[in-house]
Amino acid sequence: MNKRLLLSLVVLLLFITANAQGYKTYTYFKNDTLSLDLDLFLPDGNGSQKTPLVIFVHGGGFSAGDRVSGHSLARYLAKNNIACATISYTLYMKGKSFSCNGLLHEKIKAIQIAASQLWCATDYLLQQSSTIHIDTSLVFLAGSSAGAETVLHAAYWNRKQMHLFDNNLPEGFRYAAIISGAGAIMDLNLITPENIIPLMAFHGDADKLVPYATAAHHYCPPDSPGWLMLFGSYSIAKHLEKIDGVCMLITSRGGGHAFCGEYFNGNHQPIVDFILRIIESEKFFIYQTYQKEKD
């Protein structure tokens, strides 16, 4: 086989592979020391019609994980005419402890870095909205575990106060809704009647890492250096109910932390259904409970 033919076959293989993947990779943030990418999946035939966008943030305790873990969800959404971007972010806790023997200020900083970079990714995608044909009023956040903690804080933190990286998000910009797998927030007071947005949350009530209700992260004793109180999915849902929010809470009775991936890793249709209900401006408050199957 001559070199020219070999080169042609390699180029053809790369072209086929790229099209089979169905996404394009973009660098959404870059400075002298940091470069961050996202993978963007668009519906087939994405033309002049504007589509909703989901931004997915992977889990991994802010020390592991990869944006590729969101590709299954992203492909499914794209087939249902919903664009999806899966993002990379700084794994600040890599080589550090995110458990009870870690440091409280390091835990908070890890969330702040990830949320700030999520704002940058959002800004980048909004700036490309005319090219990729997304509806800037229908930008949804989705995250699993550490990613869920990221999206909850990104939705409710004061961006001017908490940003670490410059972004040009419009002052009045709000996300359309949050999809949270085993997520939690540090302060329920961040969520007010003035800033509430719809929430789909799913969580195992026997989660030993991120509390389902209100407890310390990893259920650490209060004398631990990494002691951090968190309000989990159930506590957030009850708070939203009190202030007339829109929410769907799906609880796995006896389920552990692995339930954070239930609708991101396989059973994607409930996420599509939730998004469509939000697009239609439906008002609802739903509690669903499933009994964990015995091992």
DSSP state of 292: P
Residue ranges of domains in the chain, CATH in brackets: 25-291 (3.40.50.1820)
Q: Enter the DSSP assignment of 224.
A: S
Q: Give the pLDDT of residue 62.
A: 97
Structure tokens at 122: 């959002």
Q: What is the pLDDT of residue 9?
A: 45
Nearest in space to 119 (alpha carbons), one of 175, 39, 68: 175
Q: What distance in Å separates the CA atoms of residue 67 and residue 55, rounded to the nearest whole number?
A: 11
> Structure pTM?
0.91
- What pLDDT, on a 0 to 100 scale, did the predictor assign at position 45? 73
pLDDT tens for the chain, 295 residues: list them. 454 444 444 334 443 444 445 899 999 999 999 999 999 999 987 567 899 999 999 999 999 999 999 999 999 999 999 999 999 999 999 999 999 999 999 999 999 999 999 999 999 999 999 999 999 999 999 999 999 999 999 999 999 999 999 888 998 999 999 999 999 999 999 999 999 999 999 999 999 999 999 999 999 999 999 999 999 999 999 999 999 999 999 999 999 999 999 999 989 999 999 999 999 999 999 999 988 665 4
Q: Is 208 left (phi over 0), alpha (psi -120 to 50) or beta?
A: alpha
Structural contact between residues 107 and 228, judged by C-beta atoms closer than 8 angstroms: yes
**pLDDT of 44:** 87
pLDDT score of 15: 39
Buried/exposed code over 27-47 (b: 16+ C-beta within 10 A; e: otherwise): ebbeeeeeebbbbbbbbeebe
